[in-house]
């Protein structure tokens, strides 16, 4: 089972950044958002 920590590692960003993308809570650059979403899609990550 993949975790948010794994997504962060694979996308080369912090756990906080992954959380920001998932929750759309704070601004994240379009490039980073795209990278995180790609990892989420490729891994099938689903937040609890």
List pLDDT tens digits, range 11-48. Answer: 999 999 999 999 999 899 999 999 999 999 999 999 88
Query: Which of 25, 29, 27, 17 lies closest to 40 in space, CA to CA?
Result: 17
Hey, which bits of the chain come out as E strands? Answer: none
25: in domain? yes
* pLDDT value for 48: 83
Whole domain around residue 26: which residue ranges?
4-43
Indicate the pLDDT class of residue 7, thresholds 50, 70 and 90.
very high
Q: 48 in a domain, yes or no?
A: no
Burial of 13-38, coded b for 16+ CB within 10 Å and e otherwise, reads beeebbbbbeeeeeebeeebbebbee
- Is 22 contained in some domain? yes
Q: Is the pTM of this model over 0.85?
A: yes
Number of domains in the chain: 1
């Amino acid at each position: 089972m993949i975790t948010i920590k794994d997504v962060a590692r694979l996308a080369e960003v912090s756990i906080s950044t992954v959380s920001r993308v998932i929750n759309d809570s704070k601004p994240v650059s379009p490039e980073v958002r795209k990278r995180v979403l790609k990892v989420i899609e490729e891994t099938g990550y689903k937040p609890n």
